[in-house]
Amino acid sequence: METEEIKYQAKDYKSDQYVRWCPGCGDHAVLNCLHKAMAELNIPPKDMAVISGIGCSSRLPYYMNSYGFHTIHGRGAAIATGVKTANPDLNVWLITGDGDCLAIGGNHFIHAVRRNVDINIVLFNNRIYGLTKGQYSPTSERGFVSKSSPYGTVEDPFIPAELAFGARSNYFARVVDVDLKNTTAVLADAAKHAGASVVEVLVNCVIFNDGIHKNITDKDFRADRTVFLRHGEKMIFGKEANKGIVLEGLKLKAVTIGEDGYTLDNILVHDAHTKDNTLHMMLAMMTNEDDLPIALGVIRDVEAPVYDQCVDQQVKEVQAKNPTRKLRDFLMKGEIWEVK
């Protein structure tokens, strides 16, 4: 008997729960993008496990009609590692925020990335603690004034990409919450990547940190202040699509094509698949302060051994050489003596 393949729609991934994020919160957009990305991937909701820690974004599993586990602060990466290692057939997501992932959960995050567990990490970065009502986070800039830093912070922030690459990340992408089309596409792409994928979504907190990413997300400047990277394509940006990135010496530089002797040929072609992460790191670290656009899109996408598959493989290899499957049989092969 032939079975007709089910084609899932975005609504099939929506749960019946009322979404409790503040009106205008960037998280709503990411949730919708995830529903659409899952429909595009057509993965049955029964095979999807969405794990989260604690924080505003970590409420997301309740809004998915899949298997979901809202856990404890910072530990989502470790729990997701356990889920995926126990059952590599599942499609596992980790929903986390800048506080959950980079402060209390920093250790689990770097080790999940280092091990290259096949989980899809969506890092909602609003550069603030929202659920506890407005303290600075590990991604807040030096001098940032918040309830817990009334005179400004005296510490430098993490740049998530830099930390991820320090942890030997093989997949890192960055998107903005207002760009639904690209966010959906990147989430789907990240899910297809075998190994740990990190998607940093720059989200707006409408209540405690409104406009924190406005400088780059606003329609008026987005084209000039960001570059959307695509593997195999030239790094071109700008309203007129006439600007590009070139490498001069050990530094990246934004140039205008046709000015100062720069032609289209000088513009770098993005190679997300190259193993050497030097250029990926430089791209991820570009800032407007250095007259460079913020890099968006899939910055790095490299194949590497996948932890959960290797754990499985090792069991299979040992089993191929050793036919013992029952405890009693194993014990009988040990150092034993018989009393008759």
Partner 1 sequence: MAEQTKVTTLEKVVVRFSGDSGDGMQLTGTIFSTLSAIFGNEISTFPDYPAEIRAPQGTLSGVSGFQVHLGSKKVFTPGDKADVLVAMNPAALKVNVGILKPNSIVIIDTDSFQEKDLAKAKFTTDNPFAELGLNSIQLVAAPISTFVKEGLADFGLDNKSALRCKNMFALGLVCWLFERPLEEAMHLLQNKFVKKPTIAEANIKALTDGYNFGHNTHAAVSTYRIEGKKAEPGFYTDINGNTATSYGLIAAAEKAGMKLFLGSYPITPATDILHELSKRKELGVKAIQAEDEIAGICTAIGASFAGNLAATSTSGPGLALKSEAIGLAMIAELPLVIIDVQRGGPSTGLPTKSEQTDLLQALYGRNGESPIVVIAATTPTDCFDAAFWAGKLAVEHMTPVILLTDGFIANGSSAWRLPDLDKYPEIKPQYATEYNGEADWKPYRRNEETMVRYWAIPGMEGFEHRIGGLEKDFETSAISTHPGNHQKMIMARQEKIDKIANFIPELDVVGDADADLLIVGWGGTYGHLYETMEGLHENGKKVALAHFKFISPLPKNAVEVLTKYKKVVIAEQNTGQFAKYLRGKIPGFTPYQFNRIKGQPFNVTRLIEEFTKIMEA
d(CA 3, CA 5): 6
- Select the span of 85-93, 143-151, 158-166, 194-202 touching partner 1 (CB under 8 A): 85-93
Alpha-carbon gap, residue 332 to 126, rounded angstroms: 59
Nearer Cβ to partner 1, position 45 or 293? 45
Instruction: Work out how close the CB of 182 gets to partner 1 at its nearest, in angstroms, rounded to a whole number.
Output: 28
- Which of 26, 45, 97, 99 is in the footprint of partner 1 by CB under 8 A? 45
Please report, for residues 82, 164, 180, the alpha-carbon distance to residue 170 in angstroms, rounded to integers and kept in the order given: 20, 9, 24
Nearer to partner 1, 145 or 332 (CB): 332
Q: How far is CA 281 from the centre of its chain?
A: 16
The 10 Å Cβ neighbour count of residue 110 is 19
Q: 300 phi and psi, to 5 degrees?
A: -140, 135
CB of 155 to partner 1, least distance (A): 23
Let me know: does 160 contact 197? Beta carbons within 8 Å.
no
If the CB atoms of residues 5 and 335 are measured against partner 1, the closer one turns out to be 335
Q: How many CB atoms lie within 10 A of CB 340?
A: 2
Interactions with partner 1, residue window 263-322 (CB under 8 A):
311, 314-315, 318-319, 322
When binding is defined by CB under 8 A, the residue of 25, 31, 33, 83 that contacts partner 1 is: 83
Which of 50, 77, 176 lies closest to 125, judged by CA?
Answer: 176
| Part in contact with partner 1 (CB under 8 A); list of ranges 54-62, 121-129, 177-185, 295-303 | 54-62
Tell the smallest beta-carbon distance from residue 79 to partner 1 (Å).
4
Q: Which of 9, 17, 42, 287 binds partner 1 (CB under 8 A)?
A: 17
Q: What's phi and psi for 318, nearest 5 deg?
A: -65, -40
The footprint of partner 1 on this chain (CB under 8 A) covers a number of residues equal to 59
Closer of 75 and 230 to partner 1 (Cβ): 75
Give the number of other CB atoms < 10 A from CB of residue 224.
16
Q: Which residues in 156-215 contact partner 1 (CB under 8 A)?
A: none
Quote the least distance from Cβ 170 to partner 1, whole Å: 18
90 or 254: CB nearest partner 1: 90
Name which of residues 86 to 115 contact partner 1 (CB under 8 A): 86-87, 89-90, 107-108, 111
CA 56 to chain CA centroid, Å, is 16
Q: How far is the CB of 315 from partner 1 (least distance, A)?
A: 5
Among 4, 232, 276, 337, binds partner 1 (CB under 8 A): 337
- Among 148, 256, 287, 324, which residue sits at the site for partner 1 (rule: CB under 8 A)? 324
112-141 positions binding partner 1, by CB under 8 A: none
Examine residue 46 and tell whether it contacts partner 1 (CB under 8 A). yes
Greatest distance between any 2 Cα atoms in the chain:
95
Q: Rounded distance, CA 210 to CA 208, Å?
A: 6
Give start and end residues of each alpha helix (H) in 207-275.
Answer: 214-217, 219-225
Restricting to residues 61-80, name those near partner 1 by CB under 8 A.
61-62, 64-72, 75, 78-80
Q: Where are the alpha helices (DSSP H) in 75-204?
A: 76-86, 98-99, 106-115, 160-166, 180-192
Smaller CB distance to partner 1: residue 35 or 222?
Answer: 35
Residues 296 and 161 sit within 8 Å (Cβ to Cβ)? no
- 44: nearest Cα among 15, 8, 18: 8
Binding positions for partner 1, rule: CB under 8 A: 15, 17, 44-49, 51, 54, 61-62, 64-72, 75, 78-87, 89-90, 107-108, 111, 311, 314-315, 318-319, 322-328, 330-332, 334-340
